[in-house]
Chains A and B, each alone.
Chain A
């Protein structure tokens, strides 16, 4: 029975794979159906995931097993239910309270994270002596790293008009940004192509058994 279900599963996967790929020709009913099924499945997947991995262990388990010590969790639960009031226009204003707590907390966490890991740590990591390395490649690379970081930041400095001499570091900053965008692009393309190879491998190996 398990083998039969596995075969049915492989055929189902092949059908969905080909339905999505059919969009390369043009929009068609097979693609539309697969797309909508994908939306439904992913929404349900994340809902079930949230229930089992966040709500049950952090809220319901604690409330049902040891209510005396965890009654305070009724507050976030009530706030959560108030959040759902957004669905009812007359009670929509109730959702502003949990939303405010979420926004305030997120803003503070984001601010601390951005300041610690994206600002201070990145500046500290750039303040290195390039000549401590023995390899010329590392020396040149580190010098490029320092120049690129400073010029890149200067490019994002909009408080003074960048013209004449002040345009030079900005221009160098753009070059570094272009190299980075090119690298990110190349990297993304390769990631997508490896996904494509994965799907083709599935079709040719698992479904059609053309390669072994």
Chain B
């Protein structure tokens, strides 16, 4: 019974959305809107669940004195500080429990939450992702060794696109006469992005869409039940 009711709920909620797509009239249209709204609210609680799980796992690592446990204190402190700032004085134009915190915002230059966002979260986030530029370069060195025709294609296209997105490409190929302008690197890059790249992306999208339809039907019809805890 504990697994039958959730299966029925999944079936009914999926069915309402599907029926509403074909019959966008009362009551189905209203059902769809209500269910979509509910979905958003429940998803927010799921985020809350995720954050609680993060706290639980960090607290467990600290209490069990796991390797590098001291760093997990920083996670909890930064989480707590950002959360308290956000709840007390709000973010951007949204007020918090203590209002907009005008005096604090005046002395900090922005709200405490926004101050942390600008000077801690943003630099950490963009530096973390920019770090990938170095690792992509080293991965490319290994992946782009010209062994087959296919790897050559990948290498040549990547080089054209990388060069084509810089001003250097314009200087490099500006000598090409106007009659052959499509061979200039920026235009060649646009051509690759617009035609061969779109063709392959379309093939992937169409094929994946068929897979998504199949997987969704399996879930709605109750054939796929792993979301209920690994049952087959």
Decide: B119 and A9 in contact? CB cutoff 8 A: yes
Q: Which of A33, A87, A195 has the most CB of B within 10 A?
A: A195
Residues of B within 8 A of A (CB): 2-3, 5-7, 9-18, 21, 34-54, 56, 68, 71-72, 74-83, 86-87, 90-91, 94, 106-109, 113, 115-134, 136-137, 140, 149-151, 153-162, 164-166, 182, 191-210, 212-213, 215-217, 219-220, 227-229
Decide: B71 and A32 in contact? CB cutoff 8 A: yes
Decide: B133 and A192 in contact? CB cutoff 8 A: yes
9 pairs, CB–CB < 8 Å, chain A vs chain B: A5-B109, A12-B119, A48-B86, A84-B49, A97-B5, A100-B13, A119-B206, A156-B207, A187-B165
Kindly state the separation between the CA atoms of A42 and B51 in the bound complex, as whole angstroms: 10
Q: Which of B45, B86, B158 contacts A98 (CB 8 A)?
A: B45
B223 CB, nearest partner CB in chain A, Å: 11
* Chain B residues whose CB sits within 8 angstroms of the CB of A114 once the complex forms: 208-209, 212-213, 216
How many residues of A are in contact with the other chain, CB < 8 A?
118
Decide: B165 and A199 in contact? CB cutoff 8 A: no
Q: Which of B42, B108, B121, B153 has the most CB of A within 10 A?
A: B42
Kindly state the separation between the CA atoms of A108 and B56 in the bound complex, as whole angstroms: 33
With both beta carbons as reference points, the residue of chain B lying nearest to A137 in the complex is identified as B182
Given A43-B79, A189-B158, A192-B130, does the pair A72, B91 have CB atoms closer than 8 Å? no
A208 sits at the interface (CB 8 A): no
Residues of A within 8 A of B (CB): 1-2, 5-6, 9-10, 12-14, 16-17, 20-21, 23-24, 32-52, 54-55, 58-59, 72-73, 75-77, 79-81, 83-84, 86-87, 93, 96-112, 114-115, 118-119, 122-123, 125-126, 137, 141-142, 144-153, 155-156, 173-190, 192-193, 195-196, 198-199, 202
Decide: A40 and B78 in contact? CB cutoff 8 A: yes
Q: Which of A102, A118, A186 contacts B159 (CB 8 A)?
A: A186
Decide: B18 and A111 in contact? CB cutoff 8 A: yes
Given A5-B109, A111-B18, A193-B133, does the pair A44, B78 have CB atoms closer than 8 Å? yes
Main secondary structure, interface of B, reads helix
Kindly state the separation between the CA atoms of A32 and B35 in the bound complex, as whole angstroms: 42
* Chain B residues whose CB sits within 8 angstroms of the CB of A144 once the complex forms: 195-196, 199
* Chain A residues whose CB sits within 8 angstroms of the CB of B191 once the complex forms: 137, 141
* Chain B residues whose CB sits within 8 angstroms of the CB of A101 once the complex forms: 9-10, 13, 35, 38-39, 42
Kindly state the separation between the CA atoms of A192 and B94 in the bound complex, as whole angstroms: 32
Decide: A36 and B202 in contact? CB cutoff 8 A: no
Decide: B157 and A186 in contact? CB cutoff 8 A: yes
Decide: B158 and A152 in contact? CB cutoff 8 A: no
* Chain A residues whose CB sits within 8 angstroms of the CB of B215 once the complex forms: 107
Decide: B36 and A41 in contact? CB cutoff 8 A: no
Given A5-B109, A152-B203, does the pair A187, B161 have CB atoms closer than 8 Å? yes
Given A40-B75, A80-B42, A98-B42, does the pair A119, B115 have CB atoms closer than 8 Å? no
With both beta carbons as reference points, the residue of chain B lying nearest to A93 in the complex is identified as B2
* Chain B residues whose CB sits within 8 angstroms of the CB of A102 once the complex forms: 39, 42-43, 46
* Chain A residues whose CB sits within 8 angstroms of the CB of B10 once the complex forms: 100-101, 103-104, 107
Q: Which of B13, B15, B203 has the most CB of A within 10 A?
A: B203
* Chain A residues whose CB sits within 8 angstroms of the CB of B108 once the complex forms: 2, 5
Given A20-B124, A118-B206, does the pair A36, B74 have CB atoms closer than 8 Å? yes
Decide: A41 and B120 in contact? CB cutoff 8 A: yes
* Chain A residues whose CB sits within 8 angstroms of the CB of B75 once the complex forms: 36-37, 39-40
Given A103-B227, A196-B130, does the pair A125, B192 have CB atoms closer than 8 Å? no
Decide: B212 and A176 in contact? CB cutoff 8 A: no
Kindly state the separation between the CA atoms of A61 and B220 in the bound complex, as whole angstroms: 33
Decide: A186 and B165 in contact? CB cutoff 8 A: yes
Decide: B118 and A9 in contact? CB cutoff 8 A: yes
Kindly state the separation between the CA atoms of A58 and B34 in the bound complex, as whole angstroms: 11
